[in-house]
Amino acid sequence: GDSVTQMEGPVTLSEEAFLTINCTYTATGYPSLFWYVQYPGEGLQLLLKATKADDKGSNKGFEATYRKETTSFHLEKGSVQVSDSAVYFCALNTGNQFYFGTGTSLTVIP
Amino acid sequence: DGGITQSPKYLFRKEGQNVTLSCEQNLNHDAMYWYRQDPGQGLRLIYYSQIVNDFQKGDIAEGYSVSREKKESFPLTVTSAQKNPTAFYLCASTSGTGVRTEAFFGQGTRLTVV
């Protein structure tokens, strides 16, 4: 069935370090892919999205490229800040349903 | 501002009680969803509704019930049949069911059994 698998955490990085959070998916057809961010005690906020193969979503210095050949949508940021500390969810929309990964907790230390 | 409002933010339930979580949206979205979030398990779909007066069970519907009498409202009742209800509950909505649609989320309700 359709699913999303993302890198387990927690991830701890120093400020200004490079971030990669891996996400792979299984789906039939042509889904859209998303990254959501959740700050403590809050709901999920859309961070970026890509709706077709080779699309690159970007926002607030974060980027992810929809790779159909490797069924991946890895999240990257060149220089993380303390304010980026949150839980990040990879998600898939098949048109019938959303599927979410288990979330990756990121802590950035000064 | 348009958005999704969940209330209350914190809710405490005694054993054997039913409780209802509120979800209201003013985005004019057709579809609404309820998810349950437990540590390390991501989001699990409880119920969803694509139009008024119609809803479908998700992956973990047992012990929960919903109604969709108005487009903007999708309340979730956690019944006494739900044996482990302590969790963070998230309501979401989408403008439709197309593959490019993004989901919008409320701020969540944390339910604790006391």
Please give, one letter per residue, the 3-state secondary structure of chain B.
CCCEEEECCEEEECCCCCEEEEEEECCCCCEEEEEEECCCCCEEEEEEEEECCEEEECCCCCCEEECCCECCECCEEECCCCCCCCEEEEEEEECCCCCCCCCEECCCEEEEEC
Residue B15: the pLDDT is 86
| Mean pLDDT, rounded, for A73-81 | 98
Number of A to B CB contacts under 8 A, please give it.
60
Give B102→chain A minimum CA distance, Å: 8
Q: Which of the four pLDDT bands, split at 50, 70 and 90, describes residue A50?
A: very high
Whether A71 and chain B come into contact, CB under 8 Å, resolves to no
CB contact under 8 A, A93 and B108: no
Whether A100 and chain B come into contact, CB under 8 Å, resolves to yes
**Cα-Cα end-to-end distance for chain A:** 41
Q: Which residue has the higher pLDDT, A49 or B114?
A: A49
B36: which strand partners?
A: B44, B89
Residue B76: the pLDDT is 98
Residue A85 has pLDDT above 80, yes or no: yes
Phi-psi region at A82: left, alpha or beta (left = phi > 0; alpha = psi -120 to 50): alpha
| Gap between the Cα atoms of B22 and B76, Å rounded | 7
B contact set with A (CB within 8 A): 4, 6, 33, 35, 40-43, 45, 48, 90, 92, 97-108, 110
| Mean pLDDT, rounded, for B57-80 | 96
| Gap between the Cα atoms of A17 and A13, Å rounded | 6
Residue A1: the pLDDT is 86
Residue A34 has pLDDT above 90, yes or no: yes
Residue A63: the pLDDT is 98
| Gap between the Cα atoms of B108 and B7, Å rounded | 8
Q: Which of the four pLDDT bands, split at 50, 70 and 90, describes residue A110?
A: very high
Whether A32 and chain B come into contact, CB under 8 Å, resolves to yes
Residue B97 has pLDDT above 90, yes or no: no
Amino acid at A93: N
Q: Give contacts of A29 with chain B, Cβ < 8 Å.
A: 99
Q: Which of the four pLDDT bands, split at 50, 70 and 90, describes residue A9?
A: confident
Q: Which residue of A has its CA nearest to B108?
A: A43
**Cα-Cα end-to-end distance for chain B:** 35
CB contact under 8 A, A34 and B100: no
Q: Give contacts of B48 with chain A, Cβ < 8 Å.
A: 97
Q: Which residue has the higher pLDDT, B14 or A65?
A: A65
Contact B54, B25 (CB under 8 A): no
The shortest CB-CB distance from B102 to any of A49, A89, A94 is to A49
**B23, exposed or middle or buried, with CB in 10 Å at 0-12, 13-18, 19+?**
buried
Residue B41: the pLDDT is 79
Other CB atoms within a 10 A radius of the CB of residue A15 amount to 13
Residue B40: the pLDDT is 76
Radius of gyration for the alpha carbons in chain A, expressed in angstroms and rounded:
13
